[in-house]
A and B are shown apart, each in its own frame.
Chain A
């Protein structure tokens, strides 16, 4: 049972344009959501998070949107840069309890 799903395994975007990565979840008890970025041969790096009491959180070029009624979150990167090329994982946590449930990842490629 995949509780967190990233249905797009890959995404290709032109440099300077917006990248939108999507994530769906099934468990309504999730109350904290995170995005991680992973380069090859490295561990995931924390990018941005959002609590279920909010619907938007912004940090520089990165914005995460949460739609609780649709059980959907998205990560927007504006403008996209070639260095953003990586695999992006969304993750969810229940009751801020420490256990992260990850999606399968989306590989973003930003073309110069």
Chain B
């Protein structure tokens, strides 16, 4: 069974440029999460989807971050414009239901220079 797939694995961009990350969750998983992980810290939730509905986006900096999950499957997370402080690992995860364990992708390591 394929796990959560994220792309790209690594991205280096200049500040003020836009960037997008893509996530394909495990087949049949209705709940999808985007987490942010800074160096030496645990992951922090940015947004959670139940099917195509964003049910928790309280931690998403909406002035520059946006996300979508069209058709309730794949998801994209966008940053525009990127800032130096956005350098981190962006993790996507999915779960069968919201109250079951989440499975994580390998993450996208973003470096903003």
Inter-subunit contact A102/B43 (CB<8 Å): yes
B15 to chain A, nearest CB (A): 24
Residues of A within 8 A of B (CB): 4, 9, 32, 34, 36, 41-46, 49, 89, 91, 93, 96-100, 102-105
How many angstroms from the CA of A42 to the CA of B103 in the assembled complex? 12
Question: Which of A4, A45, A96, A99 is within 8 Å of B56, CB to CB?
Answer: A99
The CA of A93 and the CA of B33, in the complex, are separated in Å by: 14
Give, as a whole number of angstroms, the nearest-CB distance from B2 to chain A: 14
Q: What distance in Å separates the Cβ of B3 from its nearest Cβ neighbour in chain A?
A: 9
Check if B1 is an interface residue, CB within 8 A of chain A. Answer: no
Given A98-B99, A99-B48, A100-B45; A43-B40 close (CB under 8 Å) = no
For the complex, give the distance between the alpha carbons of A89 and B40 in Å: 11
- CB B100 to nearest CB in A, in angstroms, measures 9
Bound-complex Cα distance A94 to B74 (A): 26
Instruction: Give the 4 A-B residue pairs with the shortest CB-CB distance, closest first.
Output: A102-B42, A98-B98, A96-B99, A43-B104
Contacts of A45 in B (CB 8 A): 104
B106 A98 Cβ-Cβ under 8 A? no
A100 close to B102 (CB less than 8 A): yes
For this complex, 25 residue pairs linking A to B, each with C-beta atoms less than 8 Å apart, are A9-B40, A32-B99, A34-B101, A42-B107, A43-B4, A43-B91, A43-B93, A43-B104, A45-B104, A46-B101, A46-B102, A89-B43, A98-B31, A98-B33, A98-B95, A99-B45, A99-B48, A100-B43, A100-B102, A102-B44, A103-B42, A104-B40, A104-B41, A105-B40, A105-B42
Closest chain B CB from A64 CB (angstroms): 13
**B residues in contact with A100, CB < 8 Å:** 33, 43, 45, 102
B101 to A41, Cβ gap below 8 A? no
B42–chain A nearest beta-carbon distance, Å: 3
Q: Which residues from chain B contact A93 at a C-beta distance below 8 Å?
A: 99
A43 to B34, CA, bound (A): 12
Contacts of B95 in A (CB 8 A): 98
Alpha-carbon distance between A36 and B102 when the two chains are bound, in angstroms: 10
Shortest Cβ distance from residue A108 to the other chain B in the assembled complex, whole angstroms: 15
